[in-house]
């Protein structure tokens, strides 16, 4: 068992240094806030996700909102833009309490949220998108000339070299992002809230994007943005607010904090018996899987080895290429170069079936879209991956399927009120257990689990962690890909941290802690790979 004493050393000073609003004699925070959150709490059903969070947003200021996955950033942004209503607390616009209208109607107040998955009609033109729902009319007929001219002036204004007549589907992601910004500008946005705008942008595109942000800031627009890239937060923001587990941890002027301090503020959590005791792995055991110089879409020169019975963690930010590595290994996406050795022999899995037959299975992070047939029952779902095993003569052996289902229900404690229920009607936790049972039907020797506990309750999480440990104890090598730092730390013998398609570093044993991983993931620390 590891100890996590580090985590108790929460940077308390931060709280003491937090400024209290207008009375701070700081050049950048002069002026009353346009939009403020005052003691906002939010619960979904009985699950609290935000605890009395406060935040002030001022004109001409870029305010970064950071925190780990699940810290409540998205919820706070949705409350700030009216898409969700707080359970308690107040939203103030220009100093007076206001109940923000939902469904994007807050745009009338000048508050615009740009979702991470952009809201543009792909088959329509830039001009049509910008004016969608507010088309200019001239005696009942669309006034295209006027609309085109308006959009063109905006595009010129931000220096974007596209035409109003370009179709959205022909644009790059960065350009689409810019179109969203133009759309917000055309709605006279006073507050622009952006959810991870740079997550999908390249470095060059990010630069272009930041140039626009600075321009907007100069015009007096208040900007709130969420990012996991701490270097970017340092580069562009004036204020930074940190959330952790739904709690407000601190608000600081960015110039007063280093990315390292930010990382420290983001992490920190007590870990109890959530995780099973860790078995020592035989460090002399042979490598089951050896990947050398793997290159694939989104993956750049990745090499690693996996021992028998080892639990290897893959950490990193969303979009760092972790999933892409394993989709390439398992034959789901084509590889460009690199070698894979399985049991010391070269292996080239062209199809998922070939990987499965060799003993490597991949459990997707997207259980609803890629994992389970929601409209079907548990039995066909359970046997689907390992179906060749269930063939007797020409037909599927239903008795064997039933027996396997009964075993899986017992082994993985799948709780269904009725075995004939559609899988879509099971709870998320039971779906995840069924998915784990489904891939385990293939009797794998290497099990790759992508986000093992996404969107499931803590009790089921604990069960799944124990299943994973038990599977590894049986001699199966397990790779856990996860964005949840605690589970990586609590489960894994060794952690590979990825960043921008490459391996940023490998952390082993006692060195596995959150700040170490965050530093690699955010690009603050780099390990020279041979």
Partner 1 sequence: MTETTMSTAKPSILRGFDLKAAGPAIALLLLCLIGFLLNPAFLSEGNITNLLTRSAFIGIIAVGATFVITAGGIDLSVGSMAAVIAGVMIIVMNGAVETFGTGITTVLIGCGCSIILGLGAGLVNGLLTTKGKIEAFIVTLGTMGIYRSLVTYFADGGTLSLNYDIRGVYRPVYYESFGGLPIPVWVFIVVSIAGWFLMNRTAFGRYCTAIGSNESVAKYSAIKVDRVKTLTYVIQGLCVSLATIIYVPRLGSASSSTGVLWELEAIAAVIIGGTVLKGGYGRIGGTILGALILTTIGNILNFTDMISNYLNGTMQGLIIIVAVWLQRGDWGRNKSTD
User: Judged by CB under 8 A, does residue 418 bind partner 1?
Assistant: yes
One DSSP character per residue, 462-512 reads HHHHHHHHHHHHTT-EEEEE-S-HHHHHHH-SEEEEEETTEEEEEEEGGG-
Only one residue has tokens 């999908």, namely: 200
Q: How far is CA 133 from the centre of its chain?
A: 31
User: Judged by CB under 8 A, does residue 407 bind partner 1?
Assistant: no
Cα–Cα separations (whole angstroms), residue 401 to 83, 385, 398, 404, 461: 45, 12, 5, 5, 27
Identity of the residue, 71 or 440, whose beta carbon is nearer to partner 1 in the bound complex: 440
CB of 401 to partner 1, least distance (A): 10
CB of 44 to partner 1, least distance (A): 18
CB of 415 to partner 1, least distance (A): 5
Identity of the residue, 192 or 404, whose beta carbon is nearer to partner 1 in the bound complex: 404
Report the run of H or E that residue 448 belongs to, with start and end: strand 446-450
Q: With contacts defined by CB under 8 A, name the span among 150-158, 421-429, 462-470, 473-481 that binds partner 1.
A: 421-429
CB of 195 to partner 1, least distance (A): 24
CB of 349 to partner 1, least distance (A): 10
- 57-96 mask for partner 1 (x: CB under 8 A)? ----------------------------------------
- 374-403 mask for partner 1 (x: CB under 8 A)? xxx---x---xx-xx-xx--xxx-------
CB of 498 to partner 1, least distance (A): 21
Only one residue has tokens 């028998």, namely: 308
Identity of the residue, 169 or 508, whose beta carbon is nearer to partner 1 in the bound complex: 169
CB of 407 to partner 1, least distance (A): 11
CB of 456 to partner 1, least distance (A): 17
With vertex at residue 223, the alpha carbon angle to CA 218 and CA 227, rounded to the nearest 5 degrees, is 125
Cα–Cα separations (whole angstroms), residue 148 to 49, 134, 136, 166, 181: 44, 13, 10, 11, 16
Q: Choose, by CB under 8 A, the member of 410, 510, 528, 530 that binds partner 1.
A: 410
Residues 57/237, Cβ–Cβ less than 8 Å: no
Q: With contacts defined by CB under 8 A, name the span among 184-192, 282-290, 369-377, 509-517 that binds partner 1.
A: 369-377
DSSP state of 167: B
User: Judged by CB under 8 A, does residue 369 bind partner 1?
Assistant: yes
Residues 48/42, Cβ–Cβ less than 8 Å: yes
What are the helix (H) ranges across 97-170? 126-130, 144-158
Beta strands 137-138 and 345-346, pairing class = unpaired
Length reported for the chain: 530
Q: Choose, by CB under 8 A, the member of 26, 99, 406, 457 that binds partner 1.
A: 406
Burial (Cβ within 10 Å: 0-12, 13-18, ≥19) of residue 498: buried
Question: Rounded distance, CA 346 to CA 72, Å?
Answer: 45
Identity of the residue, 64 or 340, whose beta carbon is nearer to partner 1 in the bound complex: 340
Neighbouring residues of 269: CB distance < 8 A, sequence distance ≥ 6: 7, 244, 245, 486
With vertex at residue 331, the alpha carbon angle to CA 325 and CA 334, rounded to the nearest 5 degrees, is 75
Identity of the residue, 442 or 468, whose beta carbon is nearer to partner 1 in the bound complex: 442
Q: Choose, by CB under 8 A, the member of 157, 165, 188, 425 that binds partner 1.
A: 425
CB of 446 to partner 1, least distance (A): 14
User: Judged by CB under 8 A, does residue 204 bind partner 1?
Assistant: no
Q: List the interface residues with partner 1, window 435-494 (CB under 8 A).
A: 438
User: Judged by CB under 8 A, does residue 334 bind partner 1?
Assistant: no
Report the run of H or E that residue 344 belongs to, with start and end: none
Identity of the residue, 336 or 425, whose beta carbon is nearer to partner 1 in the bound complex: 425
Contact residues toward partner 1 (CB under 8 A) are: 332, 351-353, 355-356, 362, 364, 366, 369-376, 380, 384-385, 387-388, 390-391, 394-396, 405-406, 409-410, 413-420, 422, 424-425, 438
């Amino acid at each position: 068992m590891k100890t996590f004493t580090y985590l108790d050393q929460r940077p308390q000073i931060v709280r003491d240094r937090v400024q209290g609003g207008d009375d701070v004699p700081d050049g950048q925070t002069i002026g009353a806030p346009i939009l403020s959150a005052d003691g906002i709490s939010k619960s979904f059903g009985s699950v609290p996700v935000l605890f009395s969070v406060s935040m002030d947003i001022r004109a001409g200021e870029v305010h970064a909102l950071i925190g780990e996955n699940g810290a409540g950033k998205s919820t706070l942004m949705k409350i700030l833009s009216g898409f969700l209503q707080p359970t308690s607390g107040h939203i103030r616009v220009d100093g007076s309490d206001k109940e923000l209208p939902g469904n994007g109607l807050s745009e009338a107040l000048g508050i615009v949220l740009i979702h991470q998955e952009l809201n543009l009609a792909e088959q329509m033109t830039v001009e049509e998108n910008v004016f969608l729902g507010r088309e200019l009319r001239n005696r009942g007929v669309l006034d295209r000339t006027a609309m085109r001219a308006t959009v063109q002036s905006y595009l010129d204004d931000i220096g974007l070299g596209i035409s109003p007549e370009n179709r959205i589907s022909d644009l790059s992601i960065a350009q689409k992002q810019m179109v969203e910004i133009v759309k917000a500008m055309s709605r006279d946005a006073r507050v622009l809230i952006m959810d991870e705008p740079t997550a999908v942008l390249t470095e060059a595109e990010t630069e272009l994007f930041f140039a626009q942000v600075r321009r907007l800031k100069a015009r007096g627009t208040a900007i709130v943005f969420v990012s996991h890239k701490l270097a970017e937060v340092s580069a562009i923001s004036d204020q930074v607010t940190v959330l952790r587990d739904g709690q407000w941890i601190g608000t600081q002027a960015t110039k007063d904090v280093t990315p390292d301090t930010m990382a420290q503020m983001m992490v920190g959590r007590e870990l109890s018996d959530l995780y099973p005791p860790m078995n020592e792995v035989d460090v002399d055991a042979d490598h089951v899987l050896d990947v050398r110089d793997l290159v694939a879409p989104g993956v750049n020169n990745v090499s690693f080895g996996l021992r028998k019975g080892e639990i290897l963690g893959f950490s990193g930010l969303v979009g760092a290429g972790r999933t892409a590595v394993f989709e390439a290994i398992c034959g789901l996406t084509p590889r460009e170069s690199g070698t894979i050795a399985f049991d010391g022999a070269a292996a080239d899995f062209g199809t998922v079936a070939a990987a499965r037959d060799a003993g490597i299975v991949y459990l997707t992070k997207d259980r609803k879209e890629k994992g389970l047939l929601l409209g079907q029952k548990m039995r066909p779902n359970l046997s689907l991956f390992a179906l060749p095993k269930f063939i007797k003569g020409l037909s599927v052996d239903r008795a064997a399927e039933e027996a396997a289902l009964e075993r899986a229900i017992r082994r993985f404690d799948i709780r269904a009120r009725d075995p004939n229920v559609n899988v879509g009607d099971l709870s998320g936790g039971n779906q995840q257990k069924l998915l784990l049972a489904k891939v385990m039907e293939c009797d794998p020797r290497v099990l790759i689990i992508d986000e093992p506990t996404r969107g499931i309750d803590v009790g089921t999480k604990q069960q799944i962690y124990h299943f994973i440990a038990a599977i590894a104890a049986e001699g199966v090598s397990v790779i856990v890909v996860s964005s949840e730092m605690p589970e990586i730390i609590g489960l894994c013998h060794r952690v590979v941290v990825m960043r921008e398609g490459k391996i940023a570093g490998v952390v082993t044993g006692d060195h596995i802690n959150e700040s170490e991983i965050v530093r690699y993931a955010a690009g603050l620390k780099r390990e020279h790979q041979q």
